[in-house]
Amino acid sequence: MPTETITADAAGTWKLGDRTVNRIGFGTMRLPETGGALGTGTGPADRDRALRVLRRAVELGVNHFDTASFYFSSLRSANELINSALSPYPDDLVIATKVGPGRDPSGDWWTARPGQLRGQVEENLRQLGRDHLDLVNLRLMPSVAAGSIAEHFGALAELREAGLIRHLGLSNCGPQHLAEAQAIAPVVCVQNRFGTGAPAGERDFLRACGEQGIAYVPFYAIARGGEETGAHGTYEERVETVARSHGASPAQIRLAWTLQQGPHVLAIPGTGNPDHVTDNVAAGALRLTDDEVALLADA
Residue-wise pLDDT tens digits, 247-285? 999 999 999 999 999 999 999 999 999 999 999 999 999
At 36 the pLDDT is 63
Residue 3 has pLDDT above 50, yes or no: no
What percent of the chain is modeled with pLDDT above 90?
A: 83
Beta carbons within 8 Å of 282's beta carbon, 6+ residues apart: 1, 2, 3, 6, 10, 252
71 catalytically annotated: yes
Q: Which of 71, 89, 216, 235 is catalytic?
A: 71
Q: Which amino acid is at 190?
A: V
- Confidence band, pLDDT 50/70/90 cuts, at residue 210: very high
At 221 the pLDDT is 85
Listing DSSP states for 195-248 in one string gives: -TT--HHHHHHHHHHHHTT-EEEEESTTTTTT-TT-S-SPPPHHHHHHHHHHT-
Residue 225 has pLDDT above 90, yes or no: no
Identify which of 34, 11, 31 has the alpha carbon closest to the alpha carbon of residue 21. 11
At 163 the pLDDT is 98
Residue 220 has pLDDT above 90, yes or no: no
- Confidence band, pLDDT 50/70/90 cuts, at residue 37: low
What percent of the chain is modeled with pLDDT above 70?
A: 92
Exposure string (b/e) for 235-269, b if CB count within 10 Å is 16 or more? bbebbebbbeebebbbbbbbbbbbbbbeebbbbbb
Of 232 and 141, the structure prediction assigns the larger pLDDT to 141
Query: Mean pLDDT over residues 68-81, rounded?
Result: 94
At 297 the pLDDT is 86
| Reported pTM | 0.93
- Confidence band, pLDDT 50/70/90 cuts, at residue 234: very low
> Mean pLDDT of all residues in the chain?
92
Q: Are strands 189-193 and 165-171 parallel, antiparallel or unpaired?
A: parallel
Domains and CATH numbers, the chain: 8-295 (3.20.20.100)
